[in-house]
Chain A
């Protein structure tokens, strides 16, 4: 989706054009809702978080301080707002702080890829994972079982198709940390796919 079309729409929104804003919402609500569903694990919370996201966008566009997007791509900017809205909803429900912030140091630490690879099923019979990949329920279940930080990076990159740079910006990470986290998340997904009961039974 070319950014220029979004920038044109946002310029019209900034001038108070509600019809343009409705178009912007419809263009992006699929991605915002998918991310919010993945982070809140609740369709109702996700819709509330999506509404909150777009209301915040409208207010930012109307603000005399500017929208604070800087040079970020529109989608990365929008999903940053959505990510925070979703975590706020989730925290309100589960009542505990999420552990997604301040992980930069962890991401920079050396990773024991061998141990992660074995857990992900390297060297084992690939049939179980091949069968699990074919089943939508197994893929959904594996996504839900990922840690919060693994889930958000994989949803941004592999479900929504953001570029590495866009996802890194939306997550507030360096590109190197984002790539490392994505690889760890993908290996963890493989481990969960291998444990899908629907295939084992």
Chain B
């Protein structure tokens, strides 16, 4: 394959854009042993991918239980009364 990102490098048998394409599978523990070894070798020697991978992981972790509506929490809403009234 040919590099598709400006300044990307070929490290550990993978281009940076190839590592990028594998990031979600990496974080979800979904890579084969060979892929995992190559990604680890790449990230260990590529600061751009290490930094991006770290930020990517942080962003995903920050999403846990986030409420899209900023004014109130979905946890404070109880619809059970209106649901029970509606099924009468």
Binding site for B on A (CB under 8 A): 18, 21-22, 25-26, 29-30, 33-34, 37-38, 41-43, 46-47, 50-51, 54-55, 58-59, 111-118, 120-123, 126, 129-130, 133-134, 136-137, 139-140, 143-144, 154-155, 158-159, 161, 164, 179, 182-183, 186-187, 189-190, 193
Contacts and interface: CB of A to CB of B under 8 A. Distances in A.
B33 interface: no
Q: Name A's interface SS.
A: helix
The size bracket of the interface on B is 35 or more
B34 interface: no
Given A123-B6, A164-B28, A51 B82 contact: yes
22 contacts: A25-B83, A25-B84, A26-B80, A29-B79, A33-B74, A43-B77, A47-B82, A51-B79, A54-B79, A54-B83, A58-B87, A113-B18, A123-B7, A123-B52, A129-B55, A133-B55, A133-B62, A134-B62, A182-B24, A183-B21, A190-B59, A193-B59
Given A22-B84, A51-B86, A122-B16, A34 B55 contact: no
Given A26-B78, A43-B71, A123-B52, A114 B17 contact: yes
Contact of B80 (A25, A41, A46, A129): A25
Given A112-B4, A114-B4, 13 more contacts: A29-B79, A43-B71, A46-B74, A111-B21, A114-B3, A117-B17, A123-B48, A133-B55, A140-B70, A144-B68, A154-B63, A159-B66, A193-B59
Contact of B62 (A139, A144, A155, A182): A139
Interface in B36-77: 48-49, 51-52, 54-56, 58-60, 62-72, 74-75, 77
Contacts of A41: 68-69
B63 to A, nearest CB: 4
Contacts of B25: 179, 183
B62 to A, nearest CB: 5
A191 B18 CA distance: 18
Nearest to A154: B63
B55 A30 contact: no
A186 B55 contact: no
Contacts of B87: 18, 21, 55, 58-59
A105 B21 CA distance: 19
